[in-house]
Amino acid sequence: RYDVATGQAGSAARTWRRVRRLISNDDGAVALMAEREERLRLLRVREDARQRQWKAERNAELERERVVAELGGHGPGFGDGVGNGSPGGASISRHGISASASNAGPAATQTAQPQHLGWSGHIRPEEVIDKLTERIADRMRNELRLELQKESETLQQRVAAENLQMDDYLARELETQNTCPVCYELMVPPEHAPQLLFPCGHTFCAKCIHSHYVTHGKRTCPICRKKIDSKAPNYSLQQLILNFVQKRQRMQGNRPEGMAAMTHAVVAGSRPDASTPAAGDTGQSNDEHDRLRRQSERIQIRLTVLMNELTDTISEAAALEGAAQSSRLVLDHLGAQEQDVLKRMAGLKAELELLQEQRSMQEAKVAKSEEEATAALSRRQMLTDTIGPLQAELKKIDLLMTGLSEQ
């Protein structure tokens, strides 16, 4: 059957196959074609049957006339054929599309008597079908292009939302991965500037490492307990953290409800179709899983640090206990010595007292003797003084007696 209107209505499936063949080299077209086929089917069901029929006939006629015009519809064969069937038809071929719009009636007439058209001219029916198919394919391509454009816009929005979500994820990751394992603070300079230990490569904040290394005099890494040869500021990490903090401040200034809330709103907005609530749930549970994983990592590092501190403290306590014990021994010894000295001192004291007593007795004796000596001396003086004159008197008497006897 060569009648175009009924041809399109009757062989829609065949046309579709041709259209699909023509556009099957477009990227992603086949999948979209299936979707479109289904949508078009539903549309057709909803449409009023009569109106559909009328439209199909009218559109087919218009299409056919355009094709005929393009193929050189003014040729004698076709012109004659139409002229035979209907005078109105002849005017269409001569005056083109503008005339044909008001000529649904004659088109219907043609439909009713296709055998009179007599396709014996220069235009072959296969050519008309090919041209028609090509046009339909063009229209389909345009619609597909629009569809793909819309699809790519949706995709871009989703990508933007996912980028935001990724930013948020990276921000949280950066915040947790770059907190000091000892004090949990984000390592923001200058107080908590990141310090890299050598050779183990672990990083702590300046405050904690100062307390660990200088104040407590510990020379091993709090996490891996390797000996610390040296330490240095981690400038690249410091810059990263500073950039992050600045960006976060800017973001929080712009969005008072916070970065995460914003991201979630955008992500939710990018999934308006109700067919994927499970995806949202999965996203949330993924977020929750990430959060718990980070929490677990933090606690594990913290636990390592604290276990190391416990080990250190246990050995320190044992060493201090040993030192205390030896100190106690020394103390006991000194106590014994003290007792000994005290005992000896008591003996000496008694001896001293005895000596002092003896000495005072002796002192008294000395005093008495000196007194007696003095008394004796004065008695001697007295006797001497008495004896002297007596002797002189005696001498005088002797002299007198000697003189008397000589006379």
CA distances from 336 to 20, 46, 330, 332, 343 (A): 113, 116, 10, 6, 11
Quote the tokens at residue 35: 């979707």
Using the minimum distance from each CB to Zn ion, give the nearer residue, 82 or 221.
Answer: 221
Q: Provide, rounded to whole angstroms, the least separation between the CB of residue 174 and Zn ion.
A: 17
Pick the closest to residue 168 from 296, 291, 301 (CA basis). Answer: 291
Measured from the CB atom, is 119 or 244 closer to Zn ion? 244
Closest CB to Zn ion among residues 192, 264: 192
Residues 6 or more apart whose CB falls under 8 angstroms from that of 22 comprise 133, 134, 137
Q: Which residues does residue 230 pair with via DSSP β-bridges, in sequence order?
A: 198
Closest distance between Zn ion and the C-beta of residue 315, in Å?
A: 18
User: Minimum CB separation from Zn ion for residue 301, in Å?
Assistant: 11
Binding positions for Zn ion, rule: CB under 5 A: 180, 182-183, 200, 202, 205, 208, 221, 223-224
Residue among 137 and 221 whose Cβ is closer to Zn ion: 221
Tell me the closest approach of the beta carbon of residue 245 to Zn ion, in angstroms. 16
Angle between helices 104-112 and 49-70 (to 10 degrees): 90
Q: Which residue is nearest to Zn ion (CB)?
A: 221
Which of 188/262 has CB closer to Zn ion?
Answer: 188
Rounded Cα distance, 204 and 233, in Å: 10
Show the CA angle centred on residue 252, arms to residues 249 and 255, nearest 5°: 150
Helix (H/G/I), strand (E/B), else coil: 225: coil
CB nearer Zn ion, residue 200 or residue 262? 200
Q: Where does residue 95 rank: exposed (0-12), middle (13-18), buried (19+ CB within 10 A)?
A: exposed
Helix (H) / strand (E) element for 204: namely strand 203-205
Which C-beta is closer to Zn ion: that of 227 or that of 247? Answer: 227
Question: Which string of b and e fits 29-52 if b means at least 16 CB within 10 Å?
Answer: beebbeeeeeeeeeeeeeeeeeee
- Token digits of residue 315: 């050995």
> Is 18 or 212 the residue whose CB approaches Zn ion more closely?
212
Closest approach of Zn ion to the CB of residue 159, in Å? 38
> Around Cβ 5, how many Cβ atoms within 10 Å?
22
Radius of gyration of the chain (CA): 65
**Taking the complex as a whole, how short is the minimal distance between the CB of residue 228 and Zn ion, in angstroms?**
8
- In the bound state with Zn ion, the residue whose beta carbon lies nearer, of 184 and 368, is 184
Q: If you write DSSP's letter for every residue of 146-167 in order, what string do you get?
A: HHHHHHHHHHHHHHHHHHHHHH
Please report how close the Cβ of residue 183 comes to Zn ion at its closest, in angstroms: 3
Taking the complex as a whole, how short is the minimal distance between the CB of residue 31 and Zn ion, in angstroms? 54
> Apex CA 139: angle with CA 134 and CA 143, to 5°?
145
Rounded Cα gap, residues 223 and 157, in angstroms: 44
Least Å from the CB of residue 233 to Zn ion: 14
